[in-house]
Structure 1
Amino acid sequence: MADRFDLVVIGAGPGGYTAAIRAAQLGKKVACIEKRAGKALGGTCLNVGCIPSKALLDSSEMYDVTSHKLARHGIKVTGVGLDLGTMLKRKDDVVKALVGGVAGLFKKYKVTPYYGAGWLKGKGQVEVVAENGDTTLLETDQILLATGSESVELPFLKFDGKGIVSSTEALNFSEVPKHLIVVGGGYIGLEMGSVWKRLGAKVTVVEFLPRILPICDGEIAANVQKLLTKQGFEFHLETKVTGAKYGKDGKTVTVTAQGKDGKELTFEGDKVLVAVGRRPFTAGLGLDEAGVVYDKKTGKIKTDDHFHTNVPGISAIGDLIDGPMLAHKASEEGVVFAEQLVGMKPHVSYDKIPSVIYIWPEVASVGLMEEQIKESGRQYKVGKFPFIASGRARAMDETDGFVKVLTDAKTDRLLGVHILGPRASELIAECVAVMEYHGSAEDIARCAHSHPTLSEAVGEAARMAYAGTPINF
């Protein structure tokens, strides 16, 4: 006899487990299915994405600071060494603790976990196939698809887990690469490139487009490239990778490419990280058999404003549907979906979802890029404030970057905020909150910002946008 639930969630990543927990909090009987080996809840983000990459980014930043910056603070350190094994173990321990935390929340709120691959068997039915082949049939009123995404593999650069890898393998190199070739100038490639560059690798980024970070404001992206070049990155833009082959030693990988002038280029390294994007993970879900409509080209599932697919009782969130592939976007959708199930009327403000790139200095943004505002023909104002004029940034010895505030020229309403600088990931939250409540640059400027703090730079940029001049620059 099938197990019966009010809601069955397929996928226990940030969107899936959040939806499951919130629905359970609201009185629903919920099951959540996870196929990852080892009964590891949390999805890509927690296991092989956001969390482990940030653990390595923080560890490698500490190593870089110790090796190159402490002397300026009067701290003398000699014989700095790298214990990569300990660093990787710490990363794994962080992941293990947080995976256990999700399991604890499931137990606390009585969410029933099932481990195996879930697929749409029939109307109101999901079958779970465990690793050993055992099957369990679940019956439910509502099915939520939250299986996330996977790295895109190029046909001429297929992942082999050794020399040509995805971001997953790049989290676990047994030794620091001598030369890491990164194919793709997006945030994943730059973050993982930063980790290994700080630890001693030569890093070359090969990007097909004429710029890096196409998701960023153009001025921010240009300044990021300058700062990373200063850190030792090598960039080849408007360069199309055409293939790769191993040398006779079986370890050296030669990447071939075509430059913008049509000339063939070669890059020789020991590791190639392919980071050209991600695509929805829908394999084995049974979408075609269930009649769920999705875009055959992009893999995105078609949903309405309430996450419902064309098939009654089947919904989807996160990387499976339109919108940025961000963990916090999926989590917000999970909460909203669960609350809508019980008649509440929340919504996701998609135009106010922040994004962060965890290089150093960090990049964070919310709202429109300047290029988008220009294209719309809308009149706007720009307020900028450099961190070199921030007392706190100078005290920290972290003066690279700036805050950029974009507002409507007539109403002063915030249209976008873009930050390149220390702890931008934390500074952006204030801007998100003000934009969520349709606030203005003046609203930010007139909030008292503690002194001395990095947040003062946000207030000063806002003051520049609405008043025409900051106080401290």
Structure 2
Amino acid sequence: MRVAVIGGGPGGYIAAIKAAMLGAEVTLLEKAKVGGTCLNAGCIPTKALLASAEKLNAIKEAEEFGISIDGKVNVNFEVMMERKDKTIEQMVKGIKFLLEKRKVRLLNGFGKLVEKNKIEVQLNDGSLEIIEADKIILATGSVPIIPPLFPYDGNKVITSNEALFLKEMPESLIIVGGGVIGCEFGQFFNKLGTKVTVIEMAEQLLPPEDKDTAKQLERAFKKDKIKVMTNAKIVKCEVIDNQVVATLEDGKVLTAEKILISVGRKPYLEDLGVEDIGIHTSFGKIIVNDKMETNIEGVYGIGDIINSPFLAHVATKEGTIAAENAMGLNKKINYKAIPRCVYTDPEVASVGLTEKEATAKGIQYNRGQFDFRALGKAQVIGRYQGFIKIIVDAEDKIIGAAIVGPHATDLLAELTLAVHLGITAQDMGEVIHPHPTLTEGIMEALHDVHKSCLHSV
């Protein structure tokens, strides 16, 4: 079986490896670097930079823990960027090693569908190659959305792509969009000394989440002196005298050294040949079923180009399922328990339904909540802002959860499993959690669902 994968991001390279493991002869096409946006200009580099900011913050707070630091603490922005680049390079090499060991043929070039079993590849060296395959998996990812009103130049008006490769730290920065990308970049640059203003059209940061969840992050931003303007909209943007000038709908004018556009991403289907071979799309996304199959037999779609959350771990799961089905298995995707993570301080993580969504669906629910402040471990490490919230349905099955606080993105795994398996709060509450740990907060929130929490009143 010959399988071709177009796109080497977290969905595409995983699909290639899985198909090879199942016995396929696999060709992976990638026009840039394997790992896609996630590894090269997204998840990994942003977390590498946030890790540097976290170290700086720990130094600033060291005195609270009885550690005095004599002398000046300096930020070396260039070294931070070099460390980030080195991390990316190591991980790209790791993926190439895996592909080589699985005998996946990696071609660096741009692939275009010419028939349902044929791909024309414009290789980066200028040559042309035709790839014929029995099955094709499309995984071309997404690109940042840039509204026309912004005079994007990659210098003063930038996206996350340019923000990750700046040579110097900006003195001031306007961030358009208070979603995951905007919040993470906002806090990173703020901790390094940049004056940051976040503009969000919705009534809160992180619009998909419940208001009480977003409020915790807004509190932290206020403490850090990050200016947050919600229910705000930019109607005009210009670059004047080497400064960005943004005019809001209410007439207010903001100026900054740079403006970062982070209003979302859109599927990258340009020149892919989707329409040429008759693949059905809707609102710019490829239509697939729960087996990741398009309407064209033998052609699959995964990741940001289909109607599913723009998340690397979702693309990875979809890639695995597409490869398995391409190789004759019968697997289906299950989107019930998708983890959502924001790597700010405090971290924000959630899974399943929010209270807002449960209400909109007419689901009768109950909730339990426990504040980190009441946990011994949280007090010990000096990280006690936030809470753990668990949502259950009328049958006591856990249908959603949210965590705002220390290591929230790691703690979420236990609750993701609970939502996926439909475990009840009663059963899960019987599990003994180790002491002293942050996981005790999950146990306490589970008990609170039935008003039997011993450490709250």
- Mapping for residues 44-193 of structure 1, pairs under 5 Å: 44-67=37-60, 69-77=61-69, 78-193=71-186
Could you list the per-position Cα deviations for residues 222-256 of structure 1 after superposition, in whole angstroms to 9, with x for gaps in the alignment? Answer: 222122112211111111111221222x2x11111
Report what 2:399 is aligned to. 415
Alpha-carbon shift at residue 64 of structure 1 (Å) = 1.8
Residue 190 of structure 2 aligns to a residue in which SS?
helix
| 1:366 maps onto 2:351 in alignment | yes
Q: Residue type of the partner of 1:446?
A: E
The answer as to whether partners of 2:233 and 2:248 remain within 8 angstroms in 1 is yes
| 1:256 maps onto 2:247 in alignment | yes
Residue 322 of structure 1 aligns to a residue in which SS?
coil
Q: Flag the 1:317–1:93 CA change in 2: closer, same or farther, 3 A.
A: same
Could you list the per-position Cα deviations for residues 165-213 of structure 1 after superposition, in whole angstroms to 9, with x for gaps in the alignment? Answer: 0001111222221111000111100001111011001110111122221
Report what 2:22 is aligned to. 26
Alpha-carbon shift at residue 362 of structure 1 (Å) = 0.4
Q: Residue type of the partner of 1:201?
A: T
The answer as to whether partners of 1:306 and 1:337 remain within 8 angstroms in 2 is yes
Alpha-carbon shift at residue 86 of structure 1 (Å) = 0.8
Q: Residue type of the partner of 2:421?
A: Y
| 1:463 maps onto 2:455 in alignment | no
Q: Aligned pair count?
A: 455
Q: Residue type of the partner of 1:7?
A: V
Residue 41 of structure 1: which of 31, 34, 51 is its match? 34
Could you list the per-position Cα deviations for residues 8-28 of structure 1 after superposition, in whole angstroms to 9, with x for gaps in the alignment? Answer: 000000000001001100111
Report what 2:415 is aligned to. 431
Q: Distance in 2 between matches of 1:26 and 1:199?
A: 47
Report what 2:264 is aligned to. 277
Query: More deviation in 186-195 or 284-293?
Result: 284-293
Residue 290 of structure 1 aligns to a residue in which SS?
coil
Q: Flag the 1:344–1:191 CA change in 2: closer, same or farther, 3 A.
A: same
The answer as to whether partners of 1:7 and 1:30 remain within 8 angstroms in 2 is yes
Alpha-carbon shift at residue 96 of structure 1 (Å) = 0.3
Unaligned regions of 5+ residues in structure 1, if any? none
Q: Distance in 2 between matches of 1:355 and 1:214?
A: 13
Could you list the per-position Cα deviations for residues 138-183 of structure 1 after superposition, in whole angstroms to 9, with x for gaps in the alignment? Answer: 0011111001111001101142110110001111222221111000
The answer as to whether partners of 2:293 and 2:322 remain within 8 angstroms in 1 is no
Alpha-carbon shift at residue 469 of structure 1 (Å) = 2.9
Residue 121 of structure 1 aligns to a residue in which SS?
strand
The answer as to whether partners of 1:15 and 1:146 remain within 8 angstroms in 2 is yes
| 1:10 maps onto 2:10 in alignment | no
The answer as to whether partners of 1:180 and 1:201 remain within 8 angstroms in 2 is yes
Alpha-carbon shift at residue 389 of structure 1 (Å) = 0.5
Q: Residue type of the partner of 2:455?
A: N
| 1:441 maps onto 2:392 in alignment | no
Residue 14 of structure 1 aligns to a residue in which SS?
coil
| 1:355 maps onto 2:340 in alignment | yes
Residue 460 of structure 1 aligns to a residue in which SS?
helix
Report what 2:315 is aligned to. 330
Report what 1:291 is aligned to. 278
Alpha-carbon shift at residue 32 of structure 1 (Å) = 0.5
Q: Distance in 2 between matches of 1:348 and 1:291?
A: 24
TM-score normalized by structure 2? 0.97
Q: Distance in 2 between matches of 1:377 and 1:309?
A: 32
Query: More deviation in 157-166 or 16-25?
Result: 157-166
Q: Distance in 1 between matches of 2:331 and 2:338?
A: 15
The answer as to whether partners of 1:220 and 1:420 remain within 8 angstroms in 2 is yes
Q: Distance in 2 between matches of 1:113 and 1:62?
A: 37
Alpha-carbon shift at residue 217 of structure 1 (Å) = 2.1
Q: Residue type of the partner of 1:358?
A: Y
The answer as to whether partners of 1:403 and 1:419 remain within 8 angstroms in 2 is yes
Q: Distance in 2 between matches of 1:287 and 1:345?
A: 25
Query: More deviation in 180-189 or 370-379?
Result: 370-379
The answer as to whether partners of 1:64 and 1:199 remain within 8 angstroms in 2 is no
Residue 341 of structure 2 aligns to a residue in which SS?
strand
Could you list the per-position Cα deviations for residues 249-291 of structure 1 after superposition, in whole angstroms to 9, with x for gaps in the alignment? Answer: x2x1111111xxxx31111100100000000011110112121
Residue 220 of structure 2: which of 223, 227, 235 is its match? 227
Q: Distance in 1 between matches of 2:25 and 2:125?
A: 26
Q: Distance in 1 between matches of 2:328 and 2:124?
A: 37
The answer as to whether partners of 2:135 and 2:326 remain within 8 angstroms in 1 is no
The answer as to whether partners of 2:286 and 2:306 remain within 8 angstroms in 1 is yes
Residue 285 of structure 2 aligns to a residue in which SS?
coil
